[in-house]
Amino acid sequence: MHILVTGGCGFIGSNLIRMLRRARPTWKLVNLDALTYAGNVENVKDVGEDEHCAFVHGNVANAALVAGLFARYDFASVLHLAAESHVDRSIVGPQLFVETNICGTHTLLEAVRAHANVRFIQVSTDEVYGSAASGQCFTEATPLQPTNPYAASKAAADLLALAYQRTYGLDIVVTRCTNNFGPYQFPEKLIPLMCINALEDKQLPIYGDGAQERDWLHVEDHCSALLAILERGKSGSTYNIGTGQTCTNLTIATRILAHLGKPDSLIRHISDRPGHDRRYALDSARLRSELGWMPRYGLGDALTKTIDWYVENRGWWERVLSGAYRTAPANEFPSRA
Ligand code: NAD
Ligand code: TYD
In this structure, which residue's CA is closest to atom 12 in ligand 2?
Answer: 190
Exposed/middle/buried for 162, CB within 10 Å: 0-12, 13-18, 19+? Answer: middle
pLDDT tens-digit readout, 37-70: 999 999 999 998 888 999 999 999 999 999 999 9
Say whether 126 is catalytic.
Answer: yes
Say whether 209 is catalytic.
Answer: no
> How far does residue 124's CA lie from ligand 1's centre (Å)?
10
C-alpha distance across the termini of the chain, in Å: 37
- Whether the CB-CB separation of 35 and 6 falls below 8 Å is answered with no
Say whether 127 is catalytic.
Answer: yes
Q: Which of 33, 84, 129, 150 is catalytic?
A: 150
What is the model's pLDDT at position 330? 44
**What are phi and psi for residue 317, nearest 5 degrees?**
-75, -25
Q: pTM of the full predicted structure?
A: 0.97
pLDDT tens-digit readout, 151-171: 999 999 999 999 999 999 999
What are the residues facing 96 on neighbouring strands?
none
Q: Which of 33, 84, 127, 283 is catalytic?
A: 127
> How far does residue 249's CA lie from ligand 1's centre (Å)?
22
- Whether the CB-CB separation of 42 and 17 falls below 8 Å is answered with no
Question: Tens-digit pLDDT profile for the chain (337 aa)?
Answer: 899 999 999 999 999 999 999 999 999 999 999 999 999 999 999 998 888 999 999 999 999 999 999 999 999 999 999 999 999 999 999 999 999 999 999 999 999 999 989 999 999 999 999 999 999 999 999 999 999 999 999 999 999 999 999 999 999 999 999 999 999 999 999 999 999 999 999 999 999 999 999 999 999 999 999 999 999 999 999 999 999 999 999 999 999 999 999 999 999 999 999 999 999 999 999 999 999 999 999 999 999 999 999 999 999 999 999 987 766 544 444 333 2
Residues with CB under 6 A from ligand 2: 87, 179, 189-190, 193, 205-207, 212, 214, 249, 273
> How far does residue 252's CA lie from ligand 2's centre (Å)?
11
> How far does residue 51's CA lie from ligand 2's centre (Å)?
38
d(CA 306, CA 5) in angstroms, rounded, equals: 24
